[in-house]
Structure 1
Amino acid sequence: MVLPNSLSSYYEKFLTTGEVKCIDEEIPFEIPKGWEWTRIRNISQSYIGLTYSPTDVSSRGTIVLRSSNIQNGKIVLNDVVRVSKEISEKLQVEKNDIIICARNGSAKLVGKSAVVTDVTEPMTFGAFMAICKTALYQYVSIFLQSDLFFSQLRGVSGTTTINQLTQNNFNDFWIPIPPANEQKRIVEKLQNVSPFIERYSKSQETLNLMNIQIKEQLKKSILQEAIQGKLVPQIAEEGTAQELLEQIRQEKQKLVKEGKLKKSVLTDSVIYKGDDNKYWEKKENNVVCIDDEIPFVIPNSWNWCRLKDIGRTETGTTPSKSHPEYFGNYIPFLSPANILGSKIISETQGLSNIGIEFGRVVPKNSILQVCIGGSIGKCAIVNKPATFNQQINSITPYLCNVEFVHIVLQSEYFRLAIMDKATGTATPIINRGNWETLLFPLPPLKEQLRIIEKYKGVTSIM
């Protein structure tokens, strides 16, 4: 029982003991005169459902309501489970009862509820569900959709790794109760405006989807502008990509002499535009016209090259799972699941200092790109040394800006180039040999830096 005193403070009296205490800190907000604050337990009875064993399941029997049976605020009897076990009276679902999702792996689902509008056959509810039986079901169902209810729910479910609503917690929740006639007017008003709310909600969902699609399309357009030399102007004093490629070749020769690279990396091709305005590729003594491969025009200071010409490429590998000692937390071991939104989102696995000998290690500022399956093409820069499995190819750029290389690899052009060279039907896959020979549009280094700065500036306001 809540008792406001003359000083406008709120007090709660416990009828069993007669104790009275000030509860000002618990009261969420002021309510109109004639309303009262009370706890849910004072206006309802609530119960948590039971767990049923597989032996209880039957093709005929009592329907067991689960979280999936609450859809858009209504009870939907699709994909129902039935049990043959006898159900106690307090756990039997009746018309006007409120069913609540009390426990779920997803916080978004806990607290969703629906009023049972009709009972044509026996029903109960499972262990992850709760029931609220109250004569004020119409008003309480409104409360269960309010920010007040969910703020109290967050206050209790946030203390555990499993999002849940217990019977005790629910019973302790505060609810503001208006007079009966006002409750009726509130319910009627909401029923009248609900169709408009639903219509607005659908329109908002459509608008949100359009905004996401527009944002994605805009990002693709900006990426395409960036890799075609249209995002920033060219500056003659910054040199040419041909000069950069020569510096990269010299760097690779140096690393070969130092024993850090194999001599095979020096077998680069040279792509140039001939006097006939066609593109030609020279590999050792062979010269081949590749005009049909060139996807778009690039500035004169840029150069087409193969991906392998600008960096060291690798394919990942997985150490034998029969040796648990190979796995640990010495170095991250990444899979496609660890790449989301062009970023490394988590490090769920790792290799030990023994297992690293059987893994494929790349240094910081390497780029990982998925080479198989439905997520083929997604990529991310690693910010520290890492290992990865065979579903991923990597490139560690020489002398190029890694962020610019990342821009090219996540562009729509490069994604389509991957799909064009991928094999397989149900599961597309591109091996390292095909991947590393994809065409790469290369600008001078200083222009790469200006492109990155411009790209970040534009995308930061999207």
Structure 2
Amino acid sequence: MTGQQLKNSILQMAVQGKLVPQDPNDEPASVLLERIRAEKEQLIKEGKIKKEKNPSVIFRGADNLPYEKVGKNEPVCIADEVPFDIPESWEWVRLGEIFQHNTGKALNSSNKSGVLLEYITTSNLYWDRFELENLRSMYFTENEIEKCQVSKGDLLVCEGGDIGRAAIWLKDYKICIQNHIHRLRSYVPLCTRFYYYVFFLYKYAGWIGGKGIGIQGLSSNALHSLLVPVPPIAEQERIVKRLEIIKPLSDKYSEASEQIQELNNLFPEHLKKSILQYAVQGKLVPQDPADEPASVLLERIRTEKEKLIKAGRIKRDKHESVIFRRDNSYYEKVDGIERCIDDELPFEIPDSWEWTTIGTTCINIQYGSSRKSESTGTMAVLRMGNIQNGRIDTQKLVYTSDKEEIAHYPLEYNDLLFNRTNSKELVGKTAIYKSEVPAIYAGYLIRITPLIDSDYLNYVMQTQFYWVYCQNVRSDAIGQSNINAEKLKNFIYPLPPLHEQKRIAKKLNSIFTKIK
């Protein structure tokens, strides 16, 4: 149960008469309503309010169901309209029968009659509080002041903005309101705080501005006709007292619930990161002494690349990084200069593994097409948005028919795509191309053809230490980060024997399926 659900549940109990016991010594709500009607009649005689043409009276029938008589019409059963049952000492009533209500003044910059006064709008009215730092002013005549001025104890309710949001004005001074706020002032002393909680429940239960009892907006007519329960005054006060005791506890529960929910939301990703870290440290699957060591794999890769260079299929990297071991330390050689990199390596790896780079173990590291794509064409063009969670998402594809582009940027099965430009949180995303459908790739992507297991390398490029590397080497422009191909090639990562790479990738795929 969320914090809001708990609060709603407690409030539901409160307004249904289930939070505190009924006291038979309490004056029944029916007597309170008679007193309100008498007060209204007196105000009508004094000319302070107008008589309603069709006043509503709600009463219990012989079948104990609620009936409503409007004006001179015959009573109608409204059992389907009331949202819940209430105790026998309570009554249902239309809100306008117990509160005098009106909205404030509409803005009119050309009207400068009266006195210049500050006023509050819906932007100043929040649940159970007001923010009054940036008040505006407009002119109010004497009659408008009488209609639009708020006194201590008035309940204010948003007609616009967050419809139904409410707070009680508890300041010792008066203030005016704009027309998107309702002022509710009880005809006789009531526990107004109880009705604040009624609005809170109705709002979050969807009964105001939503479904349920169907108040979609909150015009004066809608507010007037809103059905609310009326407990005896003494019980209203007991309910509010109990709610005030519970509120700090429910607030603390809400805070804890939100923290737990956040942990629950983050847990799968945190678990994946931990498992990935185990995987690239050689702790996820056991090493097999029968596996060919990674050092032999690297020699074979160098031999393969030399053949491709001689055949003219790839170019020699003039500034290639070569990582090697000497006396149990790792060194990097670039442009004939050697340096020890032990301090740069983030963790230890098994003896059968090696540290290496993207540039050493991959070929065809190439930027994509910069030509504009179309909604139709003969060849799909993969873009940044198609890289999702390590895989290619083909839901939103664009196309090209440019033969030169198609010939120059073809993707091959198991190619890795690297997102070189994006926000700082997303730059560096990768995905493996595993489709039989031909496609090329756009300019914000870099294509990589691994000479090792593509799945293993893709998992490496989802680890935390990879993302730390991306954040360290990215360059930032306005709203965008960038990692160029040279920085990508220089990423140092742990390389297991080829068979172990496949075992790791298979294990990770199985585990991540279960996590998902």
TM-score (norm 1): 0.68
Counterpart residue type for residue 327 of structure 2 = D
Equivalent position of 1:63 in the other structure: 119
Larger Cα-atom Rg: 2
Q: Given the alignment of the two structures, is residue 97 of structure 1 paired with residue 147 of structure 2, yes or no? A: no
Distance 1:307 1:273, change over 3 A: closer
Aligned with 1:291 (options 320, 326, 341): 341
| Distance in 2 of aligned mates of 1:27 and 1:295 | 66
How does 1:26-425 map onto structure 2 within 5 Å? 26-44=81-99, 52=107, 61-67=117-123, 69-71=124-126, 73-84=128-139, 90-101=147-158, 111-118=164-171, 120=173, 122-125=175-178, 129-135=180-186, 136=190, 137-146=192-201, 149-153=204-208, 155-156=210-211, 165-167=217-219, 170=223, 173-199=226-252, 201-202=254-255, 220-236=273-289, 263-264=314-315, 273-274=324-325, 276-280=327-331, 288-289=338-339, 291-292=341-342, 293-308=344-359, 309-310=361-362, 313=365, 369=419, 371=421, 374-375=424-425, 377=427, 379=429, 381=431, 390=444, 393-394=445-446, 398=450, 404-423=456-475
Note if contact 2:67-2:79 (Cα within 8 Å) is conserved in structure 1. Answer: yes
SS for the counterpart of 2:237 is helix
Cα distance change on mapping 1:295 and 1:196 into 2, 3 Å:
closer
Per-residue Cα deviation, 1:110-134 (whole angstroms, up to 9, x for no partner): 55432221263633247xx542514
Query: SS where residue 299 of structure 1 aligns?
Result: coil
Q: Identity of counterpart residues, as a percentage?
A: 24
Q: 1: CA distance between counterparts of 2:225 and 2:413?
A: 52
Tell me the CA shift for residue 272 of structure 1.
Answer: 5.5
Contact 2:209 2:218 in 1 (8 A): no
What is the rounded CA distance, in whole Å, between the counterparts of 2:82 and 2:403 in structure 1?
57
1:323-360: CA deviation from partner (whole Å, max 9, x where unpaired): xxx67688799669x9999899999x985758999999
Partner of 1:432: 485
Cα gap change, 1:173/1:456 in structure 2, threshold over 3 Å: closer, same or farther? farther
Question: Displacement of 1:174 after TM fit?
Answer: 3.8
Q: 1:63 is matched by which residue type in structure 2? A: Y
Q: What's the CA shift string for 1:370-408, capped at 9, x where partnerless?
A: 656553657365999797775xx5555647776654543
2:355 aligned counterpart, secondary structure: strand
Partners of 2:382 and 2:398 within 8 A in 1: yes
Matched residues in 1 for 2:269 and 2:388: separation?
15
**What RMSD over aligned residues (CA atoms) do the two structures have, in Å?**
5.4
Cα distance in 2 for residues equivalent to 1:11 and 1:363: 75
Equivalence for 2:503:
446
1:178, CA displacement in angstroms? 1.4
2:11 paired residue number:
none
Uncovered stretches (5+) of structure 1, i.e. residues with no partner: 321-325
Give 3-state SS (helix, strand or coil) of 2:210's partner.
Answer: helix
CA contact (8 A) 1:378 1:410 kept: no
Q: How many residues align?
A: 433
Of residues 75-84 and 198-207 in structure 1, the stretch that sits farther from structure 2 once superposed is: 198-207
Listed one character per residue, the Cα deviations across residues 173-224 of structure 1 (whole Å, up to 9, x for unaligned) are 4433212221121122223443444455556566667777888766544432
Q: 1:311 to 1:70 in 2, by over 3 A?
A: farther
| CA separation of 1:145 and 1:402: change in aligned 2, threshold 3 A | farther
Q: Give the deviation of 1:149 after TM superposition.
A: 4.9
Q: TM-score, normalised by structure 2?
A: 0.62
Gaps of 5+ in 2: 1-56
Cα distance in 2 for residues equivalent to 1:56 and 1:265: 80
Residues 421 and 131 (structure 1 numbering): CA distance in 2 closer, same or farther, change over 3 Å?
same
What is the CA distance between 1:142 and its match in structure 2?
0.9
Q: One-letter code of the match for 2:86?
A: I
Q: CA deviation at 1:295?
A: 2.7
| Structure 2 SS opposite 1:62 | strand
User: In structure 2, how many angstroms separate the alpha carbons of the residues matched to 1:97 and 1:49?
Assistant: 13
Following the alignment from structure 2 to structure 1, what is the Cα–Cα distance between the partners of residues 227 and 402?
A: 55
